[in-house]
Amino acid sequence: MREKAATEPTGRRHLRAHGLTPSEPRLAILAWLAGHPIHPTIDQIFRALRPRHPTLSRTTVYNVLHAFVAHGLATVIRTEDGELRFDGRTDPHAHFKCTRCGALEDLGALPGDLPRQVALPQGFRADEASLVLWGLCPACAAADTTH
Ligand SMILES: [Zn+2]
Ligand SMILES: [Zn+2]
């Protein structure tokens, strides 16, 4: 193992390994995403980090997240209402969205070649696939049966 890689903090190393220069907003957002696997929106991240990072703007959060997606550090889940939810987990996996409280949970892994397993008409090319199941999370389902 190289000396630099061993001594550099994980977040910095992770950013560099993905071709991004470590900056304070990038490090803060990367750490927050890793510690909060709730598939947050841009606004949720902004509101969570703003108290400790008073100079942070919504635009910066937006730009950092889009850079993460472009560099393979995060994925984005597009939900029905056009809302973007960000995920620090980048391996292909399915999601469950609660239609009542909006919680978005991780489900099992998906085959990496899923886009190629779907028979496409001639001329189409798929690059990405996503699987979101909809319904009630355990808390909302429990509340539902007590009515
Ligand atoms: Zn719920
Ligand atoms: Zn996820």
Q: What's the pTM?
A: 0.81
Q: What domains are defined for the chain?
A: 1-90 (1.10.10.10), 91-147 (3.30.1490.190)
What distance in angstroms lies between residue 39's CA and the mean position of ligand 2's atoms?
Answer: 6
As a whole-number percent, the residues of the chain with pLDDT over 70 amount to 94
The answer on pLDDT for 14 being more than 70 is yes
What distance in angstroms lies between residue 107's CA and the mean position of ligand 2's atoms?
Answer: 7
State the amino acid at position 80 in one-letter form: E
Among 55-59, 84-88, 109-113, 130-134, the least confident range: 109-113
Which ligand is nearest to the Cα of residue 106, counting in written order? 2
Task: Give the pair of three-digit tokens for residue 54.
Answer: 């008073």
Contact between residue 50 and residue 56 where contact means Cβ atoms under 8 Å apart: yes
Phi-psi sector, 108: left (phi>0), alpha (psi -120 to 50), beta? beta
Among 29-33, 62-66, 92-96, 109-113, the least confident range: 109-113
